[in-house]
Structure 1
Amino acid sequence: MAGGLLAGLATQTAVEQDLDRQRTERQAVSAQLIEDARDKPSVSAADDDRVWAAVRWRAPDGSTHTGQTKVRPDTPAGTPATVWTDEHGHLTSKPVTHEEAQLQAALAGALAVVITSGAAVGGAFAARASLDRRRMEQWDAAWARADIRRGGKTG
């Protein structure tokens, strides 16, 4: 169980550090819609009725990039939009907030505890089953020897 807790704490720390790193590397950039979002189908009901539309933005090195982002379906071309980019200016998802990062890290840590502890308990049960099988084979051999000494009859 102690190993499971250590694995959980290590996982939680690693996930939280990775999400913190993403938050520092990603930046909000002003982009401009280069096409009307009207008549574009919504991807799913979970999209808050937003649709994918093409946008253009400038990377930190000054180069121009285009890509797709979700906008409201009534958004006309030329409307400013905010997109998230990495340090190279490529589109990426919005980073999670500090609170969301803590929750994700805690859940990942708890999952690591369960998996590690489950593996340890499963390994213990497998070892015990193997030892029990071996002990039963030894008992069978001992009873067979005892049966031979009594002339082949034990009862």
Structure 2
Amino acid sequence: MRSIVGLWRWRGNPLCRRSDRREAWLALCAVVLIVVITPAVGWLGTSAAHDALLKNAKEQQRSRHQVWATAESVQTRAPLDTDPETAAQSPERHRVVAHWAAPDGSSHKSTVATKHHVQPGDRFRVWTDAEGRVVKRPMSPGTASSYAALAGLAAAVGAAAAAETGRRLTVQQLLRRRYARWDEEWARIGPDWGRTGSNY
């Protein structure tokens, strides 16, 4: 932004070099890209991710079923948090050996994890696939929307970072050329520096 202001202020100055103008125009282009292109990239990323995640959520809701399981034995484990102050607020984890009937009628028995306190003989709900294997709860449309928003934000930040990275790399190239020209000019006039009007 400083380069843009400098270009406008010194646009008629004869000391303003062509590389200075290029640097200022480059900064202006980067600002335009960030302001205009970044929101578009974020919106497109959000839209594409939302469609894909919503389709995945509908597929999970179609293929996953909640069935009743009966506890046979229960093992309670302490919270994973080792801090005594925060561990008291963390729920206990229960490993339950249970059996249930799959949606196709087949019987299954396995160890499942639950946060709810159950006793042997209690019934509780678990999510399974069509074959009766225990799976996670299906994704909700709200969760899909939240993940899509995060994906769009990441895409927008990535686009802005790419524009700024491109600007910085181009400016570095301009500086290398500028310094190379200075070296060439100094090699040409350096030996005669201060000798104007001198008699030999």
Residue number in structure 2 paired with 1:43: 79
Q: Which residue of 2 is the match for residue 145 of structure 1? A: 188
1:113 & 1:130 partners in 2: Cα distance?
Answer: 26
Q: What is the identity, as a one-letter code, of the residue corresponding to 1:144?
A: A
| RMSD over equivalenced CA pairs, Å | 2.6
Q: Does 1:130 align with 2:166?
A: no
Aligned position for 2:70: 32
- Unaligned 5+ runs, structure 2: 1-33, 81-86, 195-200
Structure having the higher helix fraction is: 2
Matched, 1:105 2:148: yes
Match of 1:15 in 2: 53
Superposition misfits of 4+ residues, deviation over 4 angstroms: 44-47
User: What's the counterpart of residue 69 of structure 1?
Assistant: 113
2:74, 2:95 within 8 Å by CA — same for their partners in 1? no
Counterpart of 2:68, as a letter, is: S
**Whose radius of gyration is greater, 1 or 2?**
2
Gaps of 5+ in 1: none
- Report which stretch shifted further, 104-113 or 14-23: 14-23
CA-to-aligned-CA distance 1:91-141 (integer Å, 9 cap, x gap)? 111123222221222122212211232123223222222232233223322
Question: Taking CA–CA contacts closer than 8 Å with sequence separation of 6 or more, which of the two structures ends up with the larger relative contact order?
Answer: 1
Q: Which amino acid aligns with 2:98?
A: V
Closer/same/farther in 2, CA of residues 153 and 11 from structure 1, 3 Å limit:
farther
Fraction of identical pairs, as percent = 30
Kept after mapping to 1: 8 A contact 2:71/2:98: yes
CA change 1:36–1:122 in 2 (3 A) is same
